[in-house]
Copies of this chain bind each other. A is one copy, B any other.
Amino acid sequence: MTEPAARRTRMPGEARRRRLLEEAIRLFGKRGFEGTSLEAVATSAGVRKQTLLYYFPTKDALLEACVQETSRRVAETLTAALEEETSSSHKAEAVIHTLFRVAEEWPDFPQFIREASRLGPEVIERFAGVLEPLRRRALLFLQQGMSEGAIRSQDPALLLFTLYTAVVGSITEAGVLRAVVGEDQSRTALHRREQELLRFVRNALAPGEGGTAGTGASTGA
């Protein structure tokens, strides 16, 4: 065994690098960072471990590059989507829709973000750094919507956080979904989740009649 490994076809560095990143993101997301060996990433990309280490000198460097790549990509995609959608009132939905579309085209990628954000604050901060402009835009958008009365008044940052968890959760917890619903894990299912989440969010944002945020002290009662 161990196939003499007939020297893989040579590739221009940049292409190889991208290929390795892609596999790394996929595997880190699927099996976790510690659960994925460099060997596994390398062979998945059709190359030997040393070739991987040629492009990324350490495993941490590889992770770092994955984080950079994913955050760059998501920022880019979202920005483009926001450019395109001019109607202010539909921007929130455009963001959600875009995220689901990305998840559909590249399912491993949300999983990776999830995993990465578990690996300590530094990693999250890298994400946050790249996405900062988008975050500011989102906050402004929410605040504006609130003062115009289009969105129920509340803490915009916490709202943004809740939205984030709902979206990422809906996308990444597919395993749980199957257990809860018994549903098959197909494109259709993803679309249905998107529709469901959209309605859910729309209702949650709608300015309730008496519901001006207030103190919300009405909890446990």
User: Which positions in A face B, CB cutoff 8 Å?
Assistant: 31-35, 90, 93-94, 97, 115, 117-118, 120-121, 124-125, 127-128, 135, 152, 154-155, 157-162, 164-166, 168-170, 173, 175-183, 192-201, 203-206, 208-211, 213-214, 216, 218-221
Contacts and interface: CB of A to CB of B under 8 A. Distances in A.
Given A166-B169, A198-B219, A219-B220, 5 more contacts: A32-B34, A155-B196, A157-B180, A162-B196, A218-B219
Contacts of A90: 221
Contacts of A173: 117, 161, 164-165, 168
A162 B154 CA distance: 21
B213 A206 contact: yes
B118 A32 contact: yes
A94 to B, nearest CB: 8
A215 to B, nearest CB: 8
Contacts of A157: 180-183
A175 B117 CA distance: 7
A33 B32 CA distance: 9
Contacts of A178: 121, 124
A174 to B, nearest CB: 10
Q: Which of A169, A178, A183, A214 has the most CB of B within 10 A?
A: A169
Contacts of A34: 31-32, 34-35
A100 to B, nearest CB: 10
Contacts of A135: 180
Given A117-B176, A179-B128, A216 B198 contact: yes
